[in-house]
């Protein structure tokens, strides 16, 4: 049976002052630059809150400006607002997203940074960007307090799948109950670092982000969530003779701290990505990783040590219970 890839889409609303209602090319580029600068500016505070920093932009496949292939996932960006943005995993699992103002066939404007901006015609501009971990971050640039405060994102999910809300965010859940992806809880900060009220509203396969931005200082950045799989990479390493399975989680994984379905899905993905390697004249493989004690260490890191850049799981650390690992800093 093929492993199901865990797909997710980040929705970001970046609110930037100074745009015209129909920005020219240079103005659109300037707006996009301000949005990206704002995202970079808030990344430090996001790290302090336990959120992984933004991934770098991915490089298009075959010199295409809209087709990407990252971490066994193919991402097709729209070229106009009436087209879907799609993520397709290697086993054929596909999730589609229609950007706000989909009734307009507005063509995108190519930016110098390799991204495409879409003028929504309502004082806002939407800029999707593919990240190096295979996720898609969607930023909406808003002019000022007169711009809309609600933005609809319509999802196309696999047959039988549904959107299930949880603690401000949502998961895409398949017929068998397996998590296929999702959306992190909404958050927003203004140019001074103040939190801006924002939340998602769910209706069927439509997710509406509401940002109460009036009265705050621009630019405002809302909900920079990202991530494709729960696990970015897995490898065996040796540190001072002690062998560890070094697991690098994605930002989406860190957003799901303590959420048991995500813990279970992340552990399955860890095992699927575990390589075979010889270290210290011993063979280490998936079977060596697939033990209850290694799972306990993974779970402990996901719950209590999720800010670490990598989660190192040590087969040689033998403890009797999960709580024993917790008491010993997850190893």
Task: Encode pLDDT of 239-260 as tens digits.
Answer: 999 999 999 988 778 878 888 8
Judge contact between 143 and 19, C-beta under 8 A.
yes
More confident residue, 67 or 23: 67
Q: Do 310 and 190 share a structural domain? A: no
Q: Do 260 and 159 share a structural domain? A: no
Given pLDDT bands bounded at 50, 70 and 90, which one contains residue 48? very low
- What tokens appear for 5 in the block? 């890839």
Q: Do 240 and 127 share a structural domain? A: no
Q: Which of 46-55, 61-70, 125-134, 267-276 has the lowest mean pLDDT?
A: 46-55
The 8-class DSSP code of residue 25 comes to H
* Separation of CA 289 from chain center: 26
- Closest CA relative to residue 302, chosen from 322, 317, 288: 322
- Mean pLDDT confidence for 29-40: 58
> Which among 222, 252, 282 is the end of a domain?
222
> Which among 164, 198, 222 is the end of a domain?
222
Residue 65 lies in a domain: yes
- Three-class SS state of 32: helix
Given pLDDT bands bounded at 50, 70 and 90, which one contains residue 318? very high
Q: Do 149 and 24 share a structural domain? A: yes
Distance (Å, whole) CA 55 – CA 38: 15
Helix (H) or strand (E) holding 8: none
Given pLDDT bands bounded at 50, 70 and 90, which one contains residue 52? very low
For 24-58, letters b (16+ CB in 10 Å) and e give: eeeebbbbbebbbebbeebbeebeeeebbebbebb
Look at residue 301 in the predicted model and tell me its pLDDT: 97
Q: Does the predicted model carry a pTM greater than 0.85?
A: no
Residue 53 lies in a domain: yes
Residue 20 lies in a domain: yes
Q: Do 132 and 23 share a structural domain? A: yes
* Separation of CA 199 from chain center: 17
Q: Which of 70-74, 82-86, 278-282, 313-317 has the lowest mean pLDDT?
A: 70-74
Q: Could you tell me the residue range of the domain that residue 279 belongs to?
A: 231-327
- What tokens appear for 173 in the block? 């859940």
Given pLDDT bands bounded at 50, 70 and 90, which one contains residue 63? low
Distance (Å, whole) CA 325 – CA 331: 5
Judge whether residue 297 has pLDDT over 70: yes
- Mean pLDDT confidence for 214-229: 69
> Which among 183, 202, 222 is the end of a domain?
222
CA distances from 138 to 65, 169, 178 (A): 16, 16, 25
Q: Do 238 and 146 share a structural domain? A: no
Residue 278 lies in a domain: yes
Look at residue 320 in the predicted model and tell me its pLDDT: 97
Given pLDDT bands bounded at 50, 70 and 90, which one contains residue 66? confident
- What tokens appear for 197 in the block? 């009220």
Half-sphere exposure of 260 (CA within 13 A, CB side): 1
Q: Do 266 and 215 share a structural domain? A: no
Q: Do 181 and 253 share a structural domain? A: no
Q: Do 262 and 215 share a structural domain? A: no
Judge contact between 91 and 5, C-beta under 8 A.
yes
- Mean pLDDT confidence for 37-57: 54
Look at residue 41 in the predicted model and tell me its pLDDT: 61
Which range, 73-82, 98-107, 127-136, has the best average confidence (pLDDT)? 73-82
- Structural domain count, the chain: 2
Residue 24 lies in a domain: yes
Residue 44 lies in a domain: yes
Q: Do 184 and 47 share a structural domain? A: yes
Residue 2 lies in a domain: no
Given pLDDT bands bounded at 50, 70 and 90, which one contains residue 27? low
Look at residue 26 in the predicted model and tell me its pLDDT: 53
* Separation of CA 43 from chain center: 14
Judge whether residue 44 has pLDDT over 70: no
Q: Do 122 and 32 share a structural domain? A: yes
Q: Do 148 and 13 share a structural domain? A: yes
């Amino acid at each position: 049976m093929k492993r199901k890839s865990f797909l997710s889409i980040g929705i970001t609303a970046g609110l930037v002052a100074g745009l015209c209602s129909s920005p020219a090319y240079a103005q659109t580029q300037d707006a996009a630059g301000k949005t990206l600068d704002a995202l970079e500016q808030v990344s430090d505070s996001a790290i302090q809150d336990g959120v992984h920093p933004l991934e770098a932009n991915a490089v298009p496949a075959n010199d295409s400006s809209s087709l990407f292939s990252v971490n066994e996932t193919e991402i097709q960006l729209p070229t106009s607002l009436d087209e879907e943005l799609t993520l397709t995993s290697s086993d054929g699992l596909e999730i589609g997203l229609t950007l706000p103002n989909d009734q307009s066939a507005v063509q995108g404007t190519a930016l110098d940074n390799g991204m495409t901006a879409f003028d929504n015609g309502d004082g806002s501009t939407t800029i999707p960007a593919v990240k190096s971990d295979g996720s898609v971050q969607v930023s909406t640039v808003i002019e000022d307090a007169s711009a809309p405060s609600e933005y609809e994102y319509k999802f196309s999910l696999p047959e039988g799948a549904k959107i299930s809300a949880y603690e401000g965010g949502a998961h895409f859940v398949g017929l068998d109950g397996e998590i296929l992806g999702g959306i992190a809880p909404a958050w927003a900060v203004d140019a001074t670092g103040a939190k801006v009220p924002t939340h998602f509203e769910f209706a069927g396969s439509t997710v509406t982000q509401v940002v109460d931005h009036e009265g705050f200082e621009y630019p405002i950045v809302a909900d920079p969530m990202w991530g494709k799989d729960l696990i970015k990479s897995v490898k065996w390493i040796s540190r001072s003779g002690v062998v560890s399975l070094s697991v690098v989680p994605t930002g989406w994984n860190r957003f799901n701290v303590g959420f048991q379905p995500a813990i279970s899905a992340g552990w399955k993905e860890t095992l699927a990505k575990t390589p075979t390697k010889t270290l210290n004249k011993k063979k280490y493989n998936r079977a060596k990783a697939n033990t209850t004690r290694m799972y306990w260490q993974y779970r402990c890191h996901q719950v209590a040590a999720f800010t670490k850049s990598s989660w190192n799981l040590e087969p040689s650390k033998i403890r009797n219970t999960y709580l024993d690992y917790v008491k010993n800093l997850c190893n």
